[in-house]
Structure 1
Amino acid sequence: MVQENNNKGNQISRRSFLTTGATAAAGFMIVPRHVLGGKGYTAPSDRLRVAGIGVGGKGESDIAEFAKGPADIVVLCDVHDSRAANSVKRFPKAKYYKDYREMLDKEHKNIDAVSVSTPDHNHAVQAMAAMQLGKHVYVQKPLTHDIYEARKLTEAAKKYKVVTQMGNQGASGDGVRQLMEWYNAGLIGDVHTVYCWTNRPVWPQGIPWPTEKAEVPKDLDWNLWLGTAPQKDYVNKLVPFNWRGWWDYGTGALGDMGCHIVEPPFRVLGLGYPTSAEASVGSVYVDEFKQGYFPDSCPPSSHVIMNFQGKSGDIKLHWMDGGIQPARPEELGPNERMGDGGNGAIFIGTKGKMMCGTYGMYPSLLPSSRNKEVNVAKTIARVPEGHYVQWVNACIAGYGKKELSAPFEIAGPLTETILMGNLAIRSYDVRKPKASGNGFDYPGRYIKLLWDGPNMKITNFEDANQFVKRNYRDGFTLGA
């Protein structure tokens, strides 16, 4: 086990503890590992005790990846028993809970770190509860559902001195590092425009909330699944995947894929908070001469433009989803793949262009013939252990001891940027119901929203600020 943090960031290995001549907090002398177990023995203090909150689907694969490193999965928590079944079978010695609050209350002394892989709307409260107990946290992307939550988790990581990582694994990949080296070498000059796109959503969006109730699966605790979200009746096929298309729970295609696709330009160009955002969205057919916009549901497609102040001038970043793609660069051959096919990012600079796919994979200079001609030295360290084990090793080393690819100090501002795009998409005016009877108008989509990043506020359209921070359902809070 790793020594409990207690907000002091003083986690150290058993060997280094011995070197300083210290003794364990319980008063017994620590014995060298070779005495305990012989050659190759790994001391308990050099292994991370991990609890997983949300251990089906992506959560299942997350904890399996941690277990490939010096980590033990000791506690499992999930509100949906059948979704958790594979993890329960794989880690039979792990204790199992449904309510993360009960789990943390009873097991906090037996764990060092927590992995959160639940629907977006519960990320922040679960991660914050663990951090306040001094537990290191790994949180799936997007880091949070709301801008305010992302800011608070970023601040909490520093306050509680815990090791953090967001689940955008491309941040540890070679691709984004190759892009950074090309850019730093000046191969494409100063970037002024970036296009990011995805073929998602691959779940229903742009639809009205179903009017027919459905039976809650017998092994699902619906109340706990709702968590911070408003009380509603269960609807068919919402779980385990289609929740992504509803604003109460998910963050749409932009929230789902933005942390993978926007991350490379965000990191390569050193972007901060956007200064403004504007959005257009696809509508759906309702009946003759009538378009449909449904405020409960993310739109079927969108195009968001965000502006940033770069080191060498303004940078315009385009986000496109729902199958919308930018025009093919002239330097790209007619049969060459753009991005990875369904997703990608293109950087347009004053001297050239480069592109990549999801996670920063398949980095390429344009035209592709340049890749054979250019030889830039590797100046940025790679992450051979991968994104997951990098976090495990950093947790064992202790706060501030090892570099991470996506700590909250990086992942938080990236998530805020992603969610700023959603704020532009959602900016309706509740005071001006439309004659069509849907009860909402969307004037925020027809203006440029000016963003005060440090203060988390739209300065020229007050109704947009309702989406910076949610009100939680009773029983859930962000912090003590």
Structure 2
Amino acid sequence: MLKKENSNDSPQNSRRNFIRNVGAAAAGFMIVPRHVLGGKGFIAPSDRLVIAGVGAGGKGQSDIANFYKGGKAEIGFLCDVDDRKAATSIANFPKAKYYKDWRELFDKESKNFDAVSVSTPDHNHAIISLSAMQLGKHVYVQKPLTHDIYEARILTEAARRYKVVTQMGNQGASGDGVRQLQEWYDAGIIGEVNTIYCWTNRPVWPQGIPWPSESAAIPKGLDWDLWLGTAPYKDYVDKVVPFNWRGWWDYGTGALGDMACHLMEAPFRVLKLKYPTAVECSVGSVYVNQKQAYYPDSCPPSSHVVMSFESRKGKTPLKLHWMDGGIQPVRPEELEPTEMMGGDGGNGVLFIGTKGKMMCSTYGKDPKLLPLSRNNEVKVKHTIPLVPGGEAGHYTEWVEAAIAGYGKKELSSDFAVAGPLTEAVLMGNLAIRSHSIQRPRADGKGMNYPGRNIKMLWDGANMKITNFDEANQFVKRAYREGWKLTV
């Protein structure tokens, strides 16, 4: 539990309180060296960031631990709808006050923390993050930034409006690998890129299935209604928590949402992409009793999405292929028969240029030119600054940037970068979900099963499909009654 307000290690002793309390007496004192004030290794309250972790189990557990490792973050508050999943974080940070409802945390403690880490299921990212920013809190949000395209745009704009320091949790954006890829591209080593392939072995959870017909008892310690949050109410079913929610559209964003912010990030950064101009897809089929079945509540077992980036000033048009469910592109001719394509685990990225090719694994790791022999021959001058600590530095850099204040330090995946990337990722899901829309038969006798591949044209500025209006229902979802994204 937290100590009283005058305790030196209390979350209430935030930077603001420190500055306010000391300011009145500042005129009567000389500047004293820090080591005199607190001894060797002392970190002044003005140089600490008090964090409230919303989502303390699973990925939230590791996020919170990584913030703390940097030495400048204090975990002041923990919040999770599931006591079971939060138990380890509670044990690791016994001084942090624990809440189950983030709304109660924000209402009661907003003066006592500086920043919020959001590591909940996708469907509640936006409402928590926006509420935190409206309180003037810096935010770190797990990937994907949001569940919907509309939400991503709102958070991107809110970060500018409220002047808070932001970062999305795609740590590869701070890695050395993506910077090596950019050095090669900027030096013209592979020429102009016209085609990109990104692929993953996900999903590794059930997809392409019907919602279970039988409900189950809600586990002790889980507040199911609060877990649902913005999503429509449904009775609890077994195993949807803590992991299988990823395969249900009400809560998750499928394989794209799980992995594309890690895999597509490198092409977006290297080629400075923004909004695609068109998207199309095909999806894996499910058969029951030798008949094709459609389960619109569930993400498909596999998909192949093609995004077109046609309007690129001074650059050639580009097509980006996304493949999941184990689908992979044809091996490049430059690879020897036994050489690995991409990286371990069935994930990878391939850049195809007019003068050559390069590839990497998840997070932009293991960048390589093709053929592999080129990596010993090609030398480029390194000019892009590296993030200290690489992927681990993704956490530390956000903490330090938040302490410094808005606009003082550049981050790898602030919302100005992460927002458009997330919108493009979710464009793929818009195409996948539109693929399952049933349409009237030409003879007027009932409905056709879905499955027609339509090339949908996207007006990025206005967040609208211009040639297939039915698809626009997936740009912005309706929240459950009692939950509202107040812009």
Aligned residue for 1:358? 362
Give the Cα separation in 2 of the matches to 1:42 and 1:433: 69
Would the aligned equivalents of 1:278 and 1:305 in 2 still touch at CA under 8 Å? yes
CA RMSD of aligned residues (A): 2.0
User: In structure 1, which of residues 196, 210, 213 is the aligned counterpart of residue 212 of structure 2?
Assistant: 210
Q: Deviations over 1:65-100 (max 9, x none)?
A: 000121010100000001000000000000000000
Corresponding residue of 2:440: 432
State the SS of the aligned residue for 1:307. Answer: strand
> What are the Cα deviations for residues 357-406 of structure 1, in whole angstroms up to 9, with x where unaligned?
00000100000000000111111111113100010010111000011000
In structure 2, the residue matched to 1:335 is: 338
**Counterparts of 2:131 and 2:217 in 1: how far apart (Å)?**
31
Distance change >3 Å, CA 370–CA 134, structure 1 → 2: same
Q: Is 1:373 the equivalent of 2:374? A: no
Structure 1 residue 313 corresponds to structure 2 residue 316:
yes
In structure 2, runs of 5+ residues without a counterpart are 1-12
Question: What is the deviation of 1:24?
Answer: 5.3
Q: 1:300, 1:349 → 2: CA distance?
A: 31
Return the offset for 1:167: 0.3
1:27 to 20, 24, 28: 24
- Shift of residue 38, structure 1, vs aligned partner: 3.5
- Equivalents in 2 of 1:434, 1:281: separation in Å? 23
Q: Partner of 1:64 in structure 2?
A: 65
Aligned-residue offset at 1:39:
4.2
CA distance in 2, matches of 1:24, 1:161: 24
Which deviates more from structure 2 when the two are superposed, residues 25-34 or residues 207-216?
25-34
Q: 1:197 aligns with which of 175, 196, 199?
A: 199
Are 2:353 and 1:349 aligned?
yes
Partner of 2:458: 451
Deviation at 1:460, TM superposition (A): 0.3
Q: Normalising by structure 1, what TM-score?
A: 0.93
Gaps of 5+ in 1: 6-13, 18-22
Moved beyond 6 Å, runs of 4+: 437-440
3-state DSSP of counterpart to 2:69: coil
- Once the two structures are TM-superposed, the CA of residue 276 in structure 1 deviates from its matched residue by 0.2
Distance in 2 (CA, whole Å) between partners of 1:333 and 1:157 is 47
Normalised to the residue count of structure 2, the TM-score between the two structures is 0.91
Distance in 1 (CA, whole Å) between partners of 2:66 and 2:288 is: 45
2: CA distance, partners of 1:174 / 1:162: 26
> Which residue of the partner structure matches residue 417 of structure 2?
410
How far 1:4 sits from its partner (Å)? 5.1
Determine if contact 1:153/1:408 at 8 Å carries over to the other structure: yes
**Structure 2 vs 1, CA of residues 28 and 476 (structure 1 numbering), >3 Å: closer, same or farther?**
farther
Structure 2 letter corresponding to 1:179: L
Query: 1:301 is matched with which residue?
Result: 302
Would you say the 8 A contact 1:2–1:396 is kept in 2?
no
Q: Give aligned pairs, total.
A: 462
Q: Distance in 2 between matches of 1:270 and 1:41?
A: 41
Q: Answer whether contact 2:440 2:446 (CA < 8 A) is retained.
A: no
- TM-aligned CA deviation for residue 2 of structure 1: 5.0
Q: What is the rounded CA distance, in whole Å, between the counterparts of 2:110 and 2:363 in structure 1?
A: 33
Aligned to 1:45, what secondary structure does the other structure show? helix
Match 1:93 to one of 89, 92, 95 = 95
| 3-state SS in 1 of match to 2:458 | strand
In the alignment, residue 48 of structure 2 is paired with which amino acid? R
Q: Report the AA paired with residue 191 of structure 1.
A: V
Segment drifting more, 306-315 vs 360-369: 306-315
Residue of structure 1 equivalent to 2:261: 259
Q: How does 1:43-442 map to 2 (within 5 A)?
A: 43-69=44-70, 70-288=72-290, 290-308=291-309, 309-310=311-312, 311-341=314-344, 342-385=346-389, 386-427=393-434, 428-429=436-437, 432=440, 441-442=449-450
The answer for the alignment partner of 1:20 in structure 2 is none
Counterpart Cα distance in 2 of 1:318 and 1:257: 14
Aligned 8 A contact 1:279 1:425 in 2: yes
CA distance in 1, matches of 2:232, 2:25: 50
Tell me the CA shift for residue 218 of structure 1.
Answer: 1.1
Q: Separation in 2 of the partners of 1:236 and 1:277?
A: 35
CA contact (8 A) 2:15 2:49 kept: no
- Within 2, Cα distance between the matches of 1:379 and 1:88? 43
Deviations 1:208-257 (CA, angstroms, capped at 9, x unpaired): 11101111101100000000000000111000000000000000001100
Superposed displacement of residue 447, structure 1: 1.3
> Cα 1:404–1:273, aligned 2, differ >3 Å: closer, same or farther?
same
Query: What secondary structure is seen at the aligned counterpart in 2 of 1:63?
Result: helix
Give the deviation of 1:36 after TM superposition.
2.3
Shift of 1:35: 4.2
Residues 133 and 441 of structure 1: CA distance in aligned 2, closer, same or farther (over 3 Å):
farther
8 A Cα contact 1:4 1:135, kept in partner: no
CA contact (8 A) 2:15 2:48 kept: no
Q: Name the SS for the 1:67 alignment partner.
A: helix
- Contact in 1 for aligned 2:282/2:305 (Cα 8 Å): yes
27-36 vs 274-283, which moves further: 27-36
Contact 1:136 1:164 (C-alpha < 8 Å) held by counterparts = yes
Instruction: Output one character per residue of 1:168-201: Cα deviation in whole Å (capped at 9) or x when no partner.
Output: 0000000000000000000000000000000000
1:410/1:440 Cα in 2 relative to 1: closer, same or farther (>3 Å)?
farther
**3-state SS in 2 of match to 1:325:** coil
Quote the residue 2:43 is aligned against.
42
**For the Cα contact (< 8 Å) 1:426–1:442, is it kept in 2?**
no
The answer as to whether partners of 2:196 and 2:321 remain within 8 angstroms in 1 is: yes
